[in-house]
């Protein structure tokens, strides 16, 4: 194993032994919506990101982003996929919002495209880009859907990458300027702000092993990117506060329990180190103003005076992206001596090879609650992939229903245990471009035929609609949507 090994490949390792005996199990029995009770104020929603769904990368003044460049370089993306068209949400946005409304979904987390709004990263504004998001937000309000606006979801303008991207601490200041401009423009219509999505994931895969844009590799670029993302987040929170943005300000982290692949001393130490990077390097500086002890030496050369003070900012809500536990083994070829390993505990896996471990969401929510001062939390991403993007079995996605309902049951257990969890957002509303996996995996409640761009709700869409309506004291039949 080495630094070039992706998380998705690592999580699929158990399949090597299970597939031979056909022991792979992807589904449990779905839970009826009527048995899941969260109260009338719990927020059910769906999530997306700009580059994954919008398309129109060369239209209306949008500039190039790092994923535009990366996806057109050979060998990076499964089946040569890219986001040039993606779901064509840029042109089909009103119909897509109508689909969200049709399921009774009242909360939508989306991101704005930095290259669409500021093609050069800063300075010159693209009015047509702002006009698109004006229309999107107005459309949401017209359907009584609450916008949750994420300022940065991995699509850095290439102009900033040409200056070093997230390895350049100046990019932190550029994010704060961007956040200030966007929040000033939309603050009268947006009450829920997310600064950025999964700083750990972008830093490891974009700047550590090079499997994501911009494709850089090495420990120095990895840790520099992570620190500067943290710094940019803190400066952006301050920028929004200075703008007197009403409502709540938060961020989203990919938080997952880390366990050793075996009980060996080496794997146990590796898991502690990796947990300090994956979870602790985001949460501890944000909530406690310091990096975890196990990685303080790694970050020390990057921390200038007041950096940790600027990172340590009060937030109103933390989004938690959870898909599975992480199992880690010692890896001397990795710069931190640890990397993803096989999961010998799980008995069910998705078609991607990701372990299905819904109790892990309880574990991580309780850990954050107990460790970081009982912040308000919401599940900002949780979802299940399949591969069939056609009519028929791809629409009868019982496995997705089981996955969502199982995880919701453990979210409810966390709430019952005193954890302040106020919402749950499915990843994702519709099938979309899935980064280095291209169009291979389909997470959507709505099927997208990427040849015709026709949208077709899956069975899970109707199940989720019924769940939401059951909390509103209503019921819905699939045939009525």
pLDDT at 80: 86
Mean pLDDT, rounded, of the chain: 91
Q: Between these two residues, 206 and 345, which has the higher pLDDT value?
A: 206
Confidence band (pLDDT; 50, 70, 90) for 344?
confident
Instruction: Give the domains, in start order, of the chain with CATH numbers.
Output: 7-480 (3.20.20.80)
pLDDT at 3: 39
- Check whether 479 has a pLDDT greater than 80: no
pLDDT at 302: 98
Beta carbons of 109 and 254 less than 8 angstroms apart: no
pTM metric for this prediction: 0.92
The average pLDDT across 450-462 equals: 96
pLDDT at 32: 66
pLDDT at 39: 84
pLDDT at 187: 97
The average pLDDT across 265-273 equals: 96
- Of the chain, the percentage scoring pLDDT greater than 70 comes to 90
Q: Between these two residues, 3 and 371, which has the higher pLDDT value?
A: 371
Q: What is the pLDDT of residues 290-304, one digit of tens each?
A: 999 999 999 999 999
pLDDT at 480: 31
pLDDT at 36: 78
CA distance 54 to 49: 8
Residues labelled catalytic = 198, 381
The average pLDDT across 170-188 equals: 98
Q: What is the pLDDT of residues 123-176, one digit of tens each?
A: 899 999 999 999 999 999 999 999 999 999 999 999 999 999 999 999 999 999
């Amino acid at each position: 194993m080495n630094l070039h090994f992706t998380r998705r490949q690592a999580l699929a390792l158990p399949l090597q032994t299970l597939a031979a005996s056909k022991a792979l199990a992807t589904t449990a029995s779905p839970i009826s919506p009527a048995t899941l009770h969260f109260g009338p104020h719990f927020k059910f929603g769906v999530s997306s990101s700009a580059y994954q769904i919008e398309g129109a990368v060369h239209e209306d003044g949008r500039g190039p982003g790092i994923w535009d460049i990366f996806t057109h370089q050979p060998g990076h993306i499964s089946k040569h996929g890219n986001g040039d068209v993606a779901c064509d949400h840029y042109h089909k946005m009103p119909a897509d919002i109508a689909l969200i409304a049709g399921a009774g979904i009242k909360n939508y987390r989306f991101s704005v495209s930095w290259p669409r709004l500021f093609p050069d990263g800063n300075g010159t504004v693209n009015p047509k880009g702002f006009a698109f998001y004006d229309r999107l937000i107005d459309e949401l309000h017209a359907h009584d859907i609450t916008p949750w606006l994420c300022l940065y979801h991995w699509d850095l303008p290439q102009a900033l990458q040409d200056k070093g991207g997230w390895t350049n601490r100046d990019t932190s200041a550029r994010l704060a300027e961007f956040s200030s401009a966007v929040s000033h423009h939309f603050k009268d219509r947006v009450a829920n702000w997310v600064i950025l999505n999964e700083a750990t994931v972008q830093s490891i895969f974009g700047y550590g092993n090079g499997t994501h844009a911009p494709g850089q590799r090495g420990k120095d670029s990895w840790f520099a990117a992570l620190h500067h993302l943290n710094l940019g987040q803190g400066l952006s929170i301050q920028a929004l506060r200075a703008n007197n943005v009403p409502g709540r300000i938060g961020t989203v982290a990919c938080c997952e329990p880390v366990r050793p692949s075996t009980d060996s001393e080496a794997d146990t130490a590796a898991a502690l180190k990796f947990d300090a990077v994956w979870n602790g390097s985001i949460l501890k500086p944000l909530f406690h103003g310091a990096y975890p002890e196990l990685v303080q030496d790694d970050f020390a050369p990057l921390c200038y005076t007041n950096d940790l003070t600027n990172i340590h900012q009060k937030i109103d809500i933390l989004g938690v992206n959870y898909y599975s536990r992480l199992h880690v083994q010692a890896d001397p070829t990795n710069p931190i001596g640890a990397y993803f390993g096989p999961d010998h505990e799980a008995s069910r896996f998705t078609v991607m090879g990701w372990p299905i471990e819904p109790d892990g969401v309880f574990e991580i929510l309780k850990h954050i609650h107990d460790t970081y001062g009982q912040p308000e939390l919401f599940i900002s991403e949780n979802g299940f992939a399949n591969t069939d993007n056609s009519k028929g079995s791809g629409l009868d996605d019982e496995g997705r229903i089981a996955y969502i309902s199982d995880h919701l049951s453990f979210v409810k257990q966390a709430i019952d245990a005193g954890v302040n969890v106020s919402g749950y957002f499915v990843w994702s509303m519709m099938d979309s471009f899935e980064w280095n996996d291209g169009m291979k995996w389909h997470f959507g409640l709505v099927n997208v035929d990427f040849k015709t761009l026709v949208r077709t709700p899956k069975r899970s869409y109707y199940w989720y609609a019924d769940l939401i309506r059951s909390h509103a004291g209503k019921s819905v039949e699939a045939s009525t949507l």
